[in-house]
Amino acid sequence: MTAPTRRSLLAGAAALPLLPRAAIAQRRGGRLTVAADSEPPNLNPAIIASNGVFFVASKVIEPLAEAAYTGKDGLAPRLATAWEGAPDGRSMAFTLRQGVTWHDGRPFTSADVAFSALEVWKKHGNLGRAVFRNLEAVETPDAHTAIFRFAEPTPAQLIRNALPALTAVVPKHLYEGTDIMRNPANQKLVGTGPFRFAEWRPGEYTRLVRNPTYWQQDRPHLNEIVYRVLPDRAAAGNALEAEEIQLAAFSAVPLADLDRIAKVPGIKVYSNGYEGLTYQLVVEINHRRKELSDVRVRRAIAHAIDRDFVVRAIFRGYATTSQGPVPKYDRTFHAPDVAGYGFNPQRANALLDEAGHPRGADGIRFRLRLLPAPFFNETRQFGDYLRQALAAIGIEATIVSNDTPAHLRAVYTDRAFDITVASPVYRGDPAISTTILFQSGLPAGVPFANQYGYENAEVDTIIRQAAATIDDAERVRLYRALQKQVTDDVALVNVAEFSFITVARDNVLNVSNNPRWAVSNWSDVGFAG
């Protein structure tokens, strides 16, 4: 996958005592302080496959395999050392790593994998419940073998693609017999990873410490990772220059500041390391709202958006325009002939007139609540732009700003929105991260999923057929048909595809060395000298 083309702030925050700078490189690798702008209330990646969760949790809780620039299937072994799918798509066998212990000292075994798969991924995972829907059993003939059995043929390609993001293994002994969604271990994480959860002070920081019994004996290099909350993302660049933090990922340094900060001695800018994390800027539309249930209105909204302007002005060229739900870089699944909705305010106005929404005396056709996702500068900035673009065609949008927990609750649980700016992640296979945006009948509360009431029986049928098709060519045909249908329906509006940059002090080593680096385990990250 090719990433898109790239072209004192802490004052007032609650003070975390800083180690003396001279000691950082001497104390078993020292402390890495990282900018963070959100604090997900649930940090269990087995339940919520979200990069905001992975950013912290991936250092503590491990998947069966991680993405890699090299290696079989572009994967690196983690808790599994080998995997093999049956030709009929009915099973996949995993050989598990030996000598692994949980952070509380209990041994990791195949029972943990079986429990995680059947009780957490399949039942509670926001994306896992779709991918592992047909998983009916996990056999554990010994402590280090897990054999997944599927009720229907399931593509081995899909399961392999899902390993990095959807197979975080949690300890059976802490979750069995509990309310999984309310288990305290969802916040005070217990895993097998190179770092252990130490403390969380809301609004201040999350701290992880070195796991001295990690299965890779020479890892990790760092003693601590501290995620310091910087609500004002523009603060990250100045904090890096002042050496108050050493790393800012996920474009925490605003794109507008990159040219300047790239010239600062002691700082490096990385545009790689996100190839497995292509984001899509989209407008989610609540189909339950009377006006928005009309496809003509949804098409008008799509025509009101100047995608070229968005890429140029908001993303500073660090993005590409988008028309459909599968990114252009995915040459296997992307459908290049989906319906286009180019910038055309005249057509947008005509569609709204045709739909029976004339302008009133004040020039307004109707009013909407607009909730921009608070995750990135760009989603917030696009919210401001979208409000203006809609005003130009007679739709008055009132922006409702929330922090991350309130936004997730309003959109994905309460469904209390009309339109929202969202940023779903494409994870290399439509079945992992795309079909959940369009599948109907999902229960309320599943984040980053179809909570906007889009329903199309033909689309649901395609999703079911593709999930059970082990023929690669047929999977491609079905997923391209899905793209055409949902784009024609304007289930949501795709605007742009974007990735991120990481900015770090130049003495931080092994930055951006895998395609999901920001959400990988950082066991090899350390300081020079």
Question: How many angstroms separate the CA atoms of 195 and 28, rounded?
Answer: 13
Q: Measuring CA to CA, how many Å separate 494 from each of 279, 338, 421, 502, 525? A: 11, 11, 10, 25, 35
Are 429 and 451 found together in one domain?
A: yes
Q: Is residue 12 part of a domain?
A: no
Asked if the structure places residue 185 within a domain, the reply is no
Is residue 283 within 8 Å of residue 421, measured between CB atoms?
Answer: yes
Give yes or no: residues 49 and 102 share one domain: no
Nearest to 369, CA basis, from 334, 410, 403: 410
CA distance 74 to 427: 13
Mean pLDDT across 125-146: 94
Please tell me whether residues 76 and 27 are part of one structural domain: no
Report yes or no on 398 lying in a domain.
yes
Q: How many structural domains is the chain composed of?
A: 3
Q: Are 24 and 31 in contact (CB under 8 A)?
A: yes
Whether residues 474 and 511 fall in one domain: no
Q: How far is CA 132 from CA 43, 89, 127, 158, 432, in A?
A: 21, 13, 9, 10, 10
In whole angstroms, what is the distance from residue 486 CA to residue 439 CA?
A: 11
Could you identify the residue written with the tokens 């040219």? 259
CATH number at residue 348: 3.10.105.10
- Rounded to whole angstroms, how far apart are CA atoms 410 and 295? 24
Say if residues 325 and 437 touch (Cβ distance below 8 Å).
yes
Mean pLDDT along residues 132-136? 94
CB 101 within 8 A of CB 205: no
- Please report which confidence band the pLDDT of residue 2 belongs to, taking 50, 70 and 90 as the band edges: very low
Chain-centroid distance, C-alpha 162: 13
What is the mean pLDDT of the segment spanning 341-355? 98
Q: Residue 326 belongs to what domain range? A: 278-498
Cα separation, 465 vs 463, in Å, equals: 6
Residue 186 tokens, joined: 């969802």
Q: Is residue 141 part of a domain?
A: yes
Q: What is the pLDDT of residue 28?
A: 62
Residue carrying the six token digits 């002939």:
337
Q: Cα separation of 110 and 116, whole Å?
A: 10
d(CA 139, CA 93): 9
Q: Write out pLDDT tens, residues 53-93.
A: 999 999 999 999 999 998 778 899 999 999 999 999 999 99
pLDDT at 8 (0 to 100): 31
Let me know whether 77 and 131 are in one domain. yes
One DSSP character per residue, 417-447 reads -SEEEE--EE-SSHHHHTGGGT-S-PPTT-T
pLDDT surpasses 80 at 163: yes
516 and 451 together in one domain? no
- Unique residue bearing structure tokens 């999923």: 449
* pLDDT over 70 percentage in the chain: 95
- Separation of alpha carbons 34 and 13, rounded Å: 14
- CATH number of the domain enclosing 241: 3.40.190.10
Tokens at 112, concatenated? 């943990």
Q: Are residues 512 and 457 in the same domain?
A: no
Same domain for 429 and 382?
yes
Q: Which of 208, 165, 164 is nearest to 56 (CA)?
A: 208
CA distance 250 to 283: 20
Q: Which residue has the tokens 């999977």?
A: 475
- Examine the domain organization and report whether 95 and 208 are in the same domain: no
- How far is Cα 12 from Cα 384, in angstroms, rounded to an integer? 27
What average pLDDT does the chain have?
A: 91
Q: What is the pLDDT of residue 267?
A: 96
Contact (CB, 8 A) for 27 and 223: yes
Taking the CB of residue 80, how many other CB atoms lie within 10 A of it?
A: 22
Residues 436 and 463 reside in one and the same domain:
yes
The answer to whether position 8 is within a domain reads no
Closest CA to 48 of 119, 131, 114, 124: 124
Retrieve residue 403's tokens.
């922090």
Between the ranges 105-119, 153-167, 316-330, where is the mean pLDDT highest? 105-119
* pLDDT for 477 beyond 50: yes
pLDDT score of 442 more than 60: yes
